[in-house]
Homo-oligomer: A and B are copies of this chain.
Amino acid sequence: MANIRDVAKKAGVSVATVSRVLNHPNTVSPTTMEYVLSVIKELNYTPNGLARSLALNKTNTIALLIPNILNPLYMEIAKGVEDVAHKKGYNTLLCNTEESQKKEADYIDMLIKRRVDGLILTASLLNKEEIQQIKKQDITLVMIGKNKNVKHGSVVFTDYMLGGYIATKHLIEIGYKRIAHISGAVHQIENQEKRAGYEKALKENNLPIDKRYIVEGNNEIEGGYLAAKKLLQLKCKPEAIFVANDLMAFGAIDAIKSEGLRIPEDIAIVGFDNIEMSALVEPKLTTVSQPAYKMGLLSARLLFDHIENGDDEEHVHQEIFLQPKLKVRKSCGHEERVREIFS
């Protein structure tokens, strides 16, 4: 592969001129410019980005770590991030941690070696040491979703506790008493918060918190299916279930149907995330929405603020706080219940 020296030689100019043609076109005479360009084409020269980044100490690359590429929620976030990165002239590396703390740490290690200019961590599982390790390298960091191990740092997050609370409260308000919860993987803080919201709503309304009504799923469709099956084996089945994400809610719906039960008549369901498919399942899913695309957008903007202003010096931190909202559809039985109440 041709390099910049080959081009310079063939064009009869210095490497500096070739470099200028590529990076500062206005500082070079039109004639040489044109000629060098023609040689570049002739030689099929493609500048070596590694060398460039090395010389500039800048990769124009950021990385986004997400727990699961099969969850559309994260893909929405990714789109938001990519869109702003692209506008800024940055490339973004999408890394799938599969909810594994080790994979996450490994990726970060690799990304530091690659000298990415910034890092966005989604639903991070990192422990204190690992976070320290990142901070020591001077890589700009933004988190999506809180990680208890970073006290200071820029973060975009949704109030998951509130989300769990409003979901559960709504179920209570329309008359359900035996409300179960299919929790997401508990190693994720957001799931602990959703559960806390669930319990808070229960307590506030003097409803008992029954351990048997709380079962953990693996965040995927199958996990919701399995968890629901477990719930359905209880002698005293729940009347409603608050599920920690839509994917699991889909699985739960499938499980409930497979037992010949109806939704919401026999069991009501509320999900979390409001991914596109949630409006397409039968019955349409009542769910707590969070603005995924916007979360991506905002986190990327935050990141570039820091990168460009160089104020990632442990000084300026921003927290962007998003409100979840309940999206009432069919699966919670809202209509039926309200009709009942007023009749």
A residues in contact (CB < 8 Å) with B: 1, 44, 46-54, 59, 69-70, 72, 75-76, 78-79, 82, 91, 93-94, 96, 109-110, 112-115, 133, 136-138, 221, 250-251, 253-254, 276-277, 279-282
Contacts and interface: CB of A to CB of B under 8 A. Distances in A.
Nearest to A96: B82
Interface residues of chain A: helix, strand, loop or mixed (majority):
helix
B44 A115 contact: no
Contacts of A280: 221, 250-251, 253-254, 281
Number of copies: 2
Contacts of A136: 44
A91 B110 contact: yes
A49 B113 contact: yes
A46 B96 contact: no
A31 to B, nearest CB: 26
Contact of A138 (B1, B53, B277): B1
Contact of A69 (B75, B254, B282): B75
A133 B254 CA distance: 49
A181 B91 CA distance: 38
Contacts of A48: 54, 113, 115
A156 to B, nearest CB: 20
16 contacts: A46-B109, A46-B137, A47-B113, A48-B113, A48-B115, A49-B113, A69-B69, A69-B94, A70-B75, A82-B96, A93-B93, A93-B94, A94-B96, A251-B280, A277-B277, A282-B282
A271 to B, nearest CB: 13
A54 B50 contact: yes
Contact of A250 (B78, B93, B115, B277): B277
Nearest to A91: B110
Contact of A281 (B44, B91, B281): B281
A133 B114 CA distance: 26
A325 B53 CA distance: 47
B79 A69 contact: yes
A264 to B, nearest CB: 14
A114 B221 CA distance: 37
Contacts of A59: 50
A49 B63 CA distance: 15
Contacts of A109: 46
Contacts of A110: 49, 91
Residue of A47, A50, A91, A281 with most chain B CB atoms under a 10 A cut-off: A50
A69 to B, nearest CB: 5
Nearest to A79: B69
Given A69-B78, A93-B93, A250-B277, A112 B46 contact: yes
Contact of A53 (B50, B82, B93, B251): B50
Contacts of A79: 69-70, 96
